[in-house]
Amino acid sequence: MLFMVSEYSLTMNSIRKPPPHPQEKSRTSANQRQASLINAAASLFAANGFTGTTTKRIAKAAGVSEALLFKHFPTKQALYTAILEEKAQYSGLREAVEDAAKKQDDGRLFTLLASYRIRRGADPTLFRLLLFSALEGHEMSDMFFQQQYQAFHDLLASYIRRRIEDGAFRMVDPLLAARAFFGIIVHHRLLHDVYGLPMHLTHEDTVAEYVSLFLGGLVRQLPHS
């Protein structure tokens, strides 16, 4: 039996996996270079702004030539779009928010929106990019607003409007209410991601407190009998 096991082991050890196909290996290398370029560009833009970052610096930081950078991203627009797709991933969030809206689960809906940005491990790069793009009048600011922010802003405003009509929320301006809630999130990120103010509560407790405070001002109080 020992001999048979040893023979089997030797036979299995002698079988080697075929080397990867050249095209597959090439695709992997290309994807890795593209990811490296995106990360290098995002980090430099977040640290130095858009006017202070050249394609030469991006290529150098990624360890490639400028020619290779332009091969992956022929235009600046292509690079900005790739950065947003990489850094502003909302996979599953919209579906979860829409599901909470259908169930009229106020707490869950507001918690989902807040906790997506106020959570442990959240990447501060995107927030810094947005600040630079807005201050410099950069096109990425409009791209982000149209592709990412506006969808959730409009969704929240519509939800608040419906809850007012249902009599669950008191009479407020839905657009201003939606802006106010997102304003809480943005101000939190400004304090902790830009100014470096330490958090005195956990991310979960912070979100719960913000949601409680905000909904406390929205929910219609029934008159006492």
Residues 134-182 have pLDDT tens digits of 888 877 778 777 766 788 899 999 999 999 999 999 999 999 999 999 9
Listed residues 66, 87, 108: the one ending a domain: 87
Say if 223 falls within a structural domain. no
Beta-carbon contacts of residue 172 (< 8 Å; ≥ 6 apart): 160, 164, 218
**CATH code assigned at 48:** 1.10.10.60
Angle of the 22-48 helix axis to the 76-87 helix axis, nearest 10: 90
Domain membership of residue 183 (yes or no) is yes
Q: Output phi, psi for 202, to 5 deg.
A: -70, 165
Structural domain boundaries, residue 62: 2-87
Q: Are residues 200 and 165 in the same domain?
A: yes
pTM > 0.75 = no
Chosen domain end from 72, 87, 102: 87
Q: How many domains does the chain have?
A: 2
User: Would 224 be classed as within a structural domain?
Assistant: no
CA-closest candidate to residue 87, choices 48, 32, 144: 144
Instruction: Mark whether 115 and 212 lie in a shared domain.
Output: yes
